[in-house]
Chains A and B, each alone.
Chain A
Amino acid sequence: MKRTYFDHAATTPTRPEVLETMLPFFNQQYGNASSLHQEGQAAAQAIERARSQLAALIGASSKEIIFTSGGTESDNTALKGTGVISKKKHLIVSAIEHHAVLFTAKAMEKMGYTLTVLPVDSIGKVDPDSVKKAIQPDTFLISVMLANNEIGTIQPIREISSIAREAGVLMHTDAVQVVGNYPVNVEELGCDMLSLSAHKFYGPKGVGALYVRKGTPIVAWMDGGEQEHGKRSGTYNTPGIVGAGKAAELAMNEMQERITSVKKLRDYLLTELPKRVEDIRINGSLTDRLPNNIHLSVRYVEGESLLLYLDDAGFAVSTGSACSSHSLKISHVLQAIGLDAVASQGSLRITLGQENSREDIDRFLDVLPKVVGDLRAISPLFKSKKQEAR
């Protein structure tokens, strides 16, 4: 059966051009970039080239890029690396941050920091005024994601950054879902730090970066060989970094094309879905939203069942239902936007990529009503609803 991948927010396939660029660095140019010999220096040069490719993608200078193992490490570095050397001990994050930020902040709370978690409205937006009000004399950092990984809502980071700057507070944004898929410019955003991850934009897994604006007080929180000017220890992942650089270059060249293609498909799907399946709602913002994200609640069915039936039909999607998570809790994002239990349990995330086609969407539109119908037919909630209507 033909497989159709609609889970690009989880990860993307590494592009063949990216893989090809990486391969020599496993067994030909395998030197350790910290070594002074020719093998080492060849690797170091390749890394610097990748660094400038990545910097160009987000409008930064090369010196402001610290390579990491991915989004989670970048987020940890931003929060802990600034927290460790700050005399101030209060930080502010939003309620819908990825766990890499939210759980890091909560872990710091246990270590003696104080934490404010900002609420969001029903479309998942942080009110910049609430940020302003949350700032205390002891605040050292604000961390609000650029776009949410579940519902795709884009935050007013520019406004929040200028509030932070005015108050003399550092500003970090987790842009893991955005970089490579939507234009990002650190000067326009005005943030001091920004996290990104290569595998979200057709690069390899296991490599990411933290942008750190020149002059930002930050230290390594992981001790070791003091690579990356002492800001991140650990042997350079040369193949991964080279792949990330190539993926950044492709993203820059194809940015407009990527946005146009997924947005067209997304809008088509958004128009057709309510015609095909009753009792669904679109979650998140209809305007300030990642161009490839669709987030639905299919009432009266449970998300894991829906996901597995769609999987059987050839489609890879995602859900925020409790049953599908390790914690068996409803997604904190869906709770934060105030979705009721039935709508949260029946949540479905579709995230498109440039390899998806109109035919993929059409087949999905044929399959979804059947799958939803099958599950609703055995759902006691759906029956109750019909009875109520009588």
Chain B
Amino acid sequence: MYTEKVMDHFRNPRNVGVIDNADGVGEVGNPVCGDMMTFYIKVKDHTITDVKYQTFGCGAAIAVSSMISELAIGKTLEEASHLTNNMVAEALGGLPEQKYHCSNLGADALHKAIEDYLSKHSDTLLKKENKQGINTTNENGREK
């Protein structure tokens, strides 16, 4: 059902975890639909220096999370904002048809984390200055 690449990322998800003092946090999905992802990013000089995530979901959801984390690290915010769910699926060698709509949410979660970062740094952004240590984890209601 899944490609070898999907199974590899599902079995050994990369970059799993939480960034305590993340610069941006993005959450998508909910338990009712079966997939839920919370992404954390660190940003320095407009570049994503670290990505971590936690995912509740099927094999595809976990593999997608892992893949987008690899794709995003080292990219500028501009580049990362152009990553799409389809690009993630493609990088995984494809997903089963029915998984494209429900589990392929990695890019959405990343974009939300970037938006979160930008909303907090709209002033500093123009000065191309990076602030670190802004802890957003507690403000982001992740309970349900």
Contact = CB atoms under 8 A, between A and B. Distances in A.
Interface of A: 300-302, 304-305, 308-309, 312, 321-324, 326, 328, 330, 341-342, 345, 377-381, 383-384, 388
A321 B98 CA distance: 14
B16 A323 contact: no
Interface stretch (B31-39, B84-92, B115-123): B31-39
Given A322-B33, A381-B31, A302 B57 contact: yes
User: Which among B31, B33, B59, B142 has the highest number of chain A CB atoms within 10 Å?
Assistant: B31
B59 to A, nearest CB: 5
User: Which among A301, A384, A388 has the highest number of chain B CB atoms within 10 Å?
Assistant: A384
17 contacts: A302-B57, A305-B10, A305-B62, A308-B59, A309-B11, A321-B34, A322-B34, A323-B34, A323-B35, A328-B34, A378-B54, A379-B54, A379-B55, A380-B56, A383-B54, A384-B143, A388-B143
* Range class of the B interface residue count: 20 to 34
Given A305-B59, A312-B11, A326-B98, A345 B54 contact: no
B91 to A, nearest CB: 20
A67 to B, nearest CB: 34
Contacts of A321: 34, 58
Contacts of A388: 143
B114 to A, nearest CB: 18
Given A378-B13, A383-B18, A384-B142, A300 B56 contact: yes
Interface of B: 10-11, 13, 16, 18, 27, 30-38, 54-62, 98-99, 102-103, 142-144
Nearest to A322: B34
Nearest to A378: B16
User: Which among A321, A330, A380 has the highest number of chain B CB atoms within 10 Å?
Assistant: A380
A307 to B, nearest CB: 9
Contact of B55 (A308, A324, A345, A378): A378
A254 to B, nearest CB: 35
A145 B78 CA distance: 58
B10 A308 contact: yes
A38 B52 CA distance: 74
Given A302-B56, A304-B58, A305-B59, 8 more contacts: A302-B58, A323-B60, A341-B31, A380-B36, A380-B55, A381-B36, A383-B54, A384-B142
A380 B98 contact: no
A378 B144 CA distance: 15
Contact of B57 (A312, A323, A326): A323
Contact of A380 (B10, B33, B37, B60): B37
A379 B31 CA distance: 11
A328 B142 CA distance: 24
Nearest to B30: A341
A384 B54 CA distance: 11
A305 B31 CA distance: 14
Nearest to B37: A380
A88 B13 CA distance: 58
A287 to B, nearest CB: 30
A124 B141 CA distance: 34
Given A321-B34, A384-B142, A302 B61 contact: yes
A304 B33 CA distance: 13
Contacts of A384: 142-144
Contacts of B57: 302, 305, 323
A308 B63 CA distance: 13
Contact of A323 (B10, B55, B102): B102
Top 9 nearest A-B pairs by Cβ distance?
A: A323-B58, A380-B54, A304-B58, A322-B34, A380-B38, A341-B31, A341-B32, A323-B34, A379-B56
B113 to A, nearest CB: 13
B98 A378 contact: no
Nearest to A319: B58
Contacts of B99: 323
A304 B59 contact: yes
Contacts of B16: 377-378
Nearest to B36: A380
A275 to B, nearest CB: 25
A345 B143 contact: no
Contacts of B10: 305, 308
Contacts of A309: 11
